[in-house]
Amino acid sequence: MGREYRIKPVTGALSPSTRERAMTSLRALPSFVREQAPGELWLKDRASTSTWAYDVRVFVGPDEVLVEVSSATGAFTRDVASLWAQLAAEGPMQIEDGDDPDEILDPARLFRVPG
């Protein structure tokens, strides 16, 4: 079963330049598979054993970045974590649990590699 997370500015929306920088960064990742549709980017770790075409789908929208995780591989713990760091450096951001928008997650715990 997958998980969903929403990366959102604390106030307001993502600026067009922030969205474009996020998509450019995602496209440059070694785990980048393809852009399925405008703003829908697929990531898959090279060491992934999943039969799916992606481990993570990232949807970059005007108000948020939706992250759907099917396999918590390095595509999530390393690459989405780097996206988080980039976005957080541009302004105050938070990560919401996709099932409970009132639950704000701690990025250090969320992106921690198990083990």
**Residue 44 is encoded by which pair of tokens?**
């898959």
- Domain span holding position 66: 3-110
**Residue 50 is encoded by which pair of tokens?**
């999943």
What CATH number has the domain bearing residue 28?
3.30.310
| Residue whose token pair is 């929306």 | 13
> What pLDDT is recorded for position 12?
87
Q: Quick check: is 29 in a domain?
A: yes
> What pLDDT is recorded for position 115?
63
Nearest to 64, CA basis, from 5, 21, 109: 5
**Cβ neighbours for 93, distance < 8 A, ≥ 6 positions apart:** 7, 8, 9, 10, 84, 87
Q: How many domains does the chain divide into? A: 1
The predicted model scores a pTM of 0.94
pLDDT tens for the chain, 115 residues: list them.
589 999 999 998 999 999 999 999 999 999 999 999 999 999 999 999 999 999 999 999 999 999 999 999 999 999 999 999 999 999 999 999 998 989 999 999 999 877 6
Q: Quick check: is 115 in a domain?
A: no
C-alpha distance from residue 63 to each of 16, 25, 99 (Å): 10, 18, 17
